[in-house]
């Protein structure tokens, strides 16, 4: 079953999510919404990219649509998410990449247009659940309607932190991300957005700019055992793409640097394959451009003061890697959701009471003291009215 995806906001992440989806056979983009650009301009920005190069495929402009590699993608220009006809377009999952609707309440407006699930391409500004592929994505359950893909930096840091914490235990740590320029920065000195971050208003191309980030603290939300143990900051640098995380941490268990490298290498070949990468080469930032991994551990860049105190370095393409993870998360959600159903069944003990059952794997489950069986599907049950059950 192919995940049918809609994209709201055709900016940097929206367009790169589109490109990533076109390379993934498990997902199909069926619609795009952006009220701030017409279709010919969408075609131009999708075709040409200053960092990632030309689009590898064909793009044509049609009436209210883009035709990409022969497939028709509907285009809308609605300002209000609830007015976007996702359902009619066949978009079950929506990538919310405007940077505006970053709370569960705001993002859930997409559901009114027929979307079934929403993925926010940013850390949420409320308690909307965050999922990082390879770290806590298995905790996703189909009752969740709106989720966040966290930030690009959290997607880089969390896999590395999980490996270290699982193998050696992290007592505490500080993170710095040396982060490429983003669209929120200014080309010349001026007032920053909101007027509070004075440094953030300085010329992006001429400065290294210290900044705040919630990426390290967010790791504590996706790895609860690290809650309160990590914090960090950012340095914005005048490069167009690719960033790097420096995690300096104190380990609970003694570990040589070689043992740390071995642990990361093992993860890259196991559960984190395709998510955590590793390089033994003398790389620089441009070498990591267009790398799909969330995090690429740089063996030669890290150092250890002793067996308990280490500095670890990991690269990430903050645009391309992150966009691929959002697509992966949408596919993962669709697979989980596809195994869930709402059905009617009867208690095993022969009682004639109908129960409503939803979200179950095949088999049998105890609820709470009686087993419920349905030909192929079983799960938790709640009594429902006779008329709703059709009794």
Judge whether 73 is annotated as a binding position: no
Judge whether 153 is annotated as a binding position: yes
Is the predicted pLDDT of residue 158 greater than 90, yes or no? yes
State the Cα–Cα distance between residues 221 and 340, nearest whole angstrom: 26
Token representation of residue 121: 């391409």
pLDDT at 374: 42
State the Cα–Cα distance between residues 81 and 360, nearest whole angstrom: 31
For residues 228 and 142, is the Cβ–Cβ distance under 8 A? Answer: no
**Sorting pLDDT into bands at 50, 70 and 90, what band is 388?**
very low
In sequence order, which residues have a C-beta less than 8 Å from that of residue 36 and are 6 or more positions away? none
Each residue's pLDDT tens digit, 45-72: 999 999 999 999 999 999 999 999 999 9
Residue of 152, 156, 249, 289 marked active site: 152
Judge whether 12 is annotated as a binding position: yes
Question: Which domains are present in the chain?
Answer: 3-128 (3.40.50.720), 152-318 (3.30.360.10), 342-389 (no CATH)
For residues 108 and 118, is the Cβ–Cβ distance under 8 A? Answer: yes
Each residue's pLDDT tens digit, 294-318: 999 999 999 999 999 999 999 999 9
Average pLDDT for the chain? 90
249 noted as active-site residue: no
Judge whether 241 is annotated as a binding position: no
Chain position carrying tokens 């960033």: 243
pTM to 2 decimals? Answer: 0.87
**Sorting pLDDT into bands at 50, 70 and 90, what band is 195?**
confident
Judge whether 286 is annotated as a binding position: no
């Amino acid at each position: 079953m192919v995940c049918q995806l809609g994209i709201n906001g055709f900016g940097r992440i929206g367009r790169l999510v589109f490109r990533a989806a076109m390379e993934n056979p498990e997902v199909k983009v069926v619609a795009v919404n952006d009220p701030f650009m017409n279709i010919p301009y969408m075609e131009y920005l999708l075709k040409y990219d200053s960092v990632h190069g030309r689009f590898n495929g064909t793009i044509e402009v049609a009436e209210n649509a883009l035709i990409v590699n022969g497939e028709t993608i509907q285009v809308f220009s609605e300002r209000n998410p609830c007015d976007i006809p996702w359902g009619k377009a066949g978009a079950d999952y929506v990538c919310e990449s405007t940077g505006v609707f970053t709370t569960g309440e705001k993002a859930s407006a997409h559901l009114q247009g027929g979307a079934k699930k929403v993925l926010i391409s940013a850390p949420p500004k409320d308690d909307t659940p965050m999922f990082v592929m390879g770290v806590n994505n298995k905790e996703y359950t189909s009752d969740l309607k709106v989720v966040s893909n966290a930030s690009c930096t959290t997607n880089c840091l969390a896999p590395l932190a999980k490996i270290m914490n699982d193998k050696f235990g992290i007592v505490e740590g500080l993170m710095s991300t040396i982060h490429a320029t983003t669209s929120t920065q200014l080309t010349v000195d001026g007032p920053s957005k909101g007027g509070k971050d004075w440094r953030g208003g300085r010329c992006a191309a001429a400065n290294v700019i210290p900044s705040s980030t919630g990426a390290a603290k967010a790791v504590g939300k996706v790895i609860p055992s690290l809650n309160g143990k990590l914090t960090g900051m950012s340095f914005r640098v005048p490069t167009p793409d690719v960033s790097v995380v420096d995690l300096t941490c104190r380990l609970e268990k003694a570990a040589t640097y070689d043992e740390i490298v071995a642990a990361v290498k093992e993860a890259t070949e196991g559960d984190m394959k395709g998510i955590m990468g590793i390089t033994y080469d003398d790389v620089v930032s441009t070498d990591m451009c267009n790398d799909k991994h969330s995090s690429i551990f740089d063996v030669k860049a890290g150092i250890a003061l002793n067996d308990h105190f280490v500095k670890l370095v990991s690269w990430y393409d903050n645009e391309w890697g992150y966009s691929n993870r959002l697509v992966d998360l949408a596919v993962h959600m669709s697979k989980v959701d596809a195994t869930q159903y709402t059905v009617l069944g009867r208690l095993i003990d022969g009682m004639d009471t109908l129960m409503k059952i939803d979200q179950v794997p095949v088999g049998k489950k105890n609820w709470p003291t009686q087993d419920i069986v349905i030909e192929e599907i079983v799960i938790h049950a709640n009594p429902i009215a006779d008329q709703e059950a059709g009794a």
